[in-house]
Structure 1
């Protein structure tokens, strides 16, 4: 799956640049005098311009801009300096901003990276924001890092698989069903290959760590990265079996050729594997399936991730709003985040662009007027939650390993490296990082 909430990005500099922020980062305000930050009494009418930054498709960008307009109408002294970009660009830029102590006041965080940024001292503890009756205590406790809450969850999310129901039905292929097993998933791919036209593929190739991660977890072998990054756990038997199947699929042209697969880009009208008509299935989340539906209206079906004895995939909050330790207006930033999460007027403005709103009252207000794309997101969450396993992001210090995992498996996909060599390289580097983390 080329992109998911745990997508392995080319962030070779993340750990190094974030490490720089740990030196000399006192959580100050970059020299700007601000009574709220210095412990004095702030003037509630003093003009404040909040820098805010997020990522996503254009529909999310427009919704966020409108939400800020609404907030400024309600709070005329607060205006915004927004910056937004695509997923890849966002996560490449954020480490550089962190290293130069120039992160915005409010920023979007993702479950895949929040621990990395939090443990480097770049995010504020938001435990003092009162969310009583809005988000249950158990959910908040599960999201804490070392007892602190570094991001306020704004939506419920889940992982699943989207498929082209129109094209599959036209080819006489049985559609995927809820709680299908991994064996059924692979058999679906084999059977569909015989009925699809040349140059059209039932599933995509797999080279990212998260796709294999949940395969391993579903068979009861646990996460790959454990004990806050101090233990490495890659099951060789399952690893060889999983990627051995994909090797078979490459040989039999059940998955796209390597050059085609490496060029795919989710939610791009021409380069998306499904929207381009090249692949019949792809990974999806509650937040991303809506964008895909807009590219393929009426054609997208969803199903949960394949399951093993322990379940399959995940379903929990993964999208957060955080306040940086570089923030010049921390109190104002916290006030905006609380409003964003708790007020119906905010939720009705940004809608389902971040997934299913975390506050049930906001979703209930939206539900009567949901569009097809939004209903599909809720359907994905509902179908995923029954068998969902815990969300398992990488610990701090493992970003480079994730990137190298993909590079190594890409080499296998292109026939440049054997599977045995790939396992040995991935394991060697993983054990080295775990040993280093344990010695800290």
Structure 2
């Protein structure tokens, strides 16, 4: 997901079959016992090379590569052909691979995109995988699409905010507090502006649909995209109020100028809004906040997103490992995923680099050895969970609208378009897509 400061962010899903034990006891025998059948071609111990693809920061890449090394040591007949990249590059490449039927055996899926890829027939149904005792039935049921499970969650995720505690305290600014309201969030920005030096900003500007949606949902007006994309629901009064406040903030230099916002790149030491010292707060998820803590050790803290009468933000699994319908080794792919999500040796290797492990036994085994950056993700989850609303990604067929929303609000941010015109354009295109989807 995106260059924006506020992402609807990522974690992983994992699954597998072939009788692997659901209780992650870290035993190498579990992996070895199933490797002989992992090829899916009926040949015992036949060599298998699994193509696997994922996205994220370098720290996640290294964790994933090391986990694959461990699996191959336990299962010498199974090796990997890995490919990994940053968020934006990953989601730009995946549609091309899907169109050419060349998706890898195992691939990272995100809650924002999995429905689109599942409904297009590019992902295997993994409902037959037994995860009893690993993931609760309610969570799995909530993640099903059309009654089928197209990815297995490997971690718990939540959306919140990180803030530069050290710098805010040094400037004498009151810190964000759990369950702060939207009004308190905006007042924090106004008050902090007076105490921060020129060129340093309390919050960033925003141009993405999902961050506005948090605001709309928190006031009880519901999701923007409803009924699997067949209904469009953009509340004009809230839209005008939300972006009107941001227009005020641009005028008063409470948020950074548009060209600076456009150049931000999360988790880049020089271009990250917080790590660069330009902005005091930014959106963060359980999976991403550790990378930020690594860039700014000991300087940051976390809080949930601002809340309204209906709550605020979200907390649930959003990252999966899926198996593509193009996979040449589907059974082997499932076996690897099952091992990944249930085995303590696997969990010890990847740690919390994909967020808080979905399997409680893995997290319990990790907890005594966790570093501050890893505990920060758990703190964000615990802070967010009680007020969390449902995770609400765009439905299939809405990718172009999401991109156009950002382009339209970029034009507003640069002063090239009025908020009223932006609302009219976004609403017109959204209603057109909803009508088209409903007619199918």
TM-score when normalising by structure 1:
0.92
Q: 1:6, CA displacement in angstroms?
A: 2.9
Q: 1:274, CA displacement in angstroms?
A: 0.3
1:335 aligns with 2:341: no
Q: 1:226, CA displacement in angstroms?
A: 0.2
Q: 1:5, CA displacement in angstroms?
A: 4.9
Q: 1:182, CA displacement in angstroms?
A: 0.2
Q: Which residue of structure 2 lines up, in the alignment, with residue 393 of structure 1?
A: 393
1:439 aligns with 2:439: yes
Return the match for 1:6 from 5, 8, 22.
8
Runs of 5+ unmatched residues, structure 1: 9-34
Q: Which residue of structure 2 lines up, in the alignment, with residue 143 of structure 1?
A: 143
- Distance in structure 2 (CA, Å) of the matches to 1:69 and 1:260: 41
Contact kept, 8 Å, 2:8 with 2:159, in 1: the verdict is: no
Where 2:198 maps in the other structure, the secondary structure is: coil
Q: Which residue of structure 1 lines up, in the alignment, with residue 177 of structure 2?
A: 177
- Distance in structure 2 (CA, Å) of the matches to 1:249 and 1:5: 20
- Distance in structure 1 (CA, Å) of the matches to 2:41 and 2:165: 59
Q: Which residue of structure 2 lines up, in the alignment, with residue 69 of structure 1?
A: 69
1:308 aligns with 2:308: yes
Contact kept, 8 Å, 1:7 with 1:208, in 2: the verdict is: no
Q: Which residue of structure 1 lines up, in the alignment, with residue 44 of structure 2?
A: 44
What do the CA deviations read for 1:258-287 (whole angstroms, capped 9, x no partner)?
111111000000000000000000000000
Superposed, which structure 2 residues align to 1:107-186 within 5 Å?
A: 107-186=107-186
Q: Which residue of structure 1 lines up, in the alignment, with residue 85 of structure 2?
A: 85
- Structure 1 runs (4+) greater than 6 angstroms displaced: 35-38
What do the CA deviations read for 1:155-187 (whole angstroms, capped 9, x no partner)?
000000100000000000000000000000000
Q: Which residue of structure 2 lines up, in the alignment, with residue 326 of structure 1?
A: 326
What do the CA deviations read for 1:172-220 (whole angstroms, capped 9, x no partner)?
0000000000000000000000000001000000110011001000000
Contact kept, 8 Å, 2:159 with 2:314, in 1: the verdict is: yes
Q: Which residue of structure 1 lines up, in the alignment, with residue 255 of structure 2?
A: 255
- Distance in structure 2 (CA, Å) of the matches to 1:408 and 1:324: 34
Q: Which residue of structure 2 lines up, in the alignment, with residue 347 of structure 1?
A: 347
Q: 1:2, CA displacement in angstroms?
A: 1.4
Where 2:316 maps in the other structure, the secondary structure is: coil
Q: Which residue of structure 1 lines up, in the alignment, with residue 377 of structure 2?
A: 377
Q: 1:42, CA displacement in angstroms?
A: 1.0
What do the CA deviations read for 1:88-114 (whole angstroms, capped 9, x no partner)?
110100000001111000000000000
- Distance in structure 2 (CA, Å) of the matches to 1:138 and 1:383: 22
- Distance in structure 2 (CA, Å) of the matches to 1:294 and 1:305: 22
Contact kept, 8 Å, 1:264 with 1:272, in 2: the verdict is: yes
Contact kept, 8 Å, 2:5 with 2:273, in 1: the verdict is: no
Q: Which residue of structure 1 lines up, in the alignment, with residue 210 of structure 2?
A: 210
Q: Which residue of structure 2 lines up, in the alignment, with residue 428 of structure 1?
A: 428
Contact kept, 8 Å, 2:109 with 2:322, in 1: the verdict is: yes
Q: Which residue of structure 2 lines up, in the alignment, with residue 241 of structure 1?
A: 241
Q: Which residue of structure 2 lines up, in the alignment, with residue 19 of structure 1?
A: none
Q: Which residue of structure 2 lines up, in the alignment, with residue 30 of structure 1?
A: none
Superposed, which structure 2 residues align to 1:180-195 within 5 Å?
A: 180-195=180-195
Where 1:386 maps in the other structure, the secondary structure is: helix
Contact kept, 8 Å, 1:5 with 1:111, in 2: the verdict is: no
- Distance in structure 2 (CA, Å) of the matches to 1:179 and 1:42: 55
Where 1:98 maps in the other structure, the secondary structure is: helix
Runs of 5+ unmatched residues, structure 2: 11-35
- Distance in structure 1 (CA, Å) of the matches to 2:416 and 2:92: 27
1:292 aligns with 2:299: no
Q: Quickly say closer, same or farther: Cα 1:143–1:3, change in 2 above 3 A.
A: farther
Q: Quickly say closer, same or farther: Cα 1:3–1:132, change in 2 above 3 A.
A: farther
Q: Which residue of structure 1 lines up, in the alignment, with residue 221 of structure 2?
A: 221
Q: 1:44, CA displacement in angstroms?
A: 2.9
Q: Which residue of structure 2 lines up, in the alignment, with residue 317 of structure 1?
A: 317
- Distance in structure 2 (CA, Å) of the matches to 1:51 and 1:212: 37
Q: Which residue of structure 1 lines up, in the alignment, with residue 56 of structure 2?
A: 56
What do the CA deviations read for 1:226-273 (whole angstroms, capped 9, x no partner)?
000000000000000000000000000000011111110000000000
Q: 1:36, CA displacement in angstroms?
A: 8.2
Aligned residue pairs, count = 413
- Distance in structure 2 (CA, Å) of the matches to 1:291 and 1:206: 21
- Distance in structure 1 (CA, Å) of the matches to 2:92 and 2:8: 15
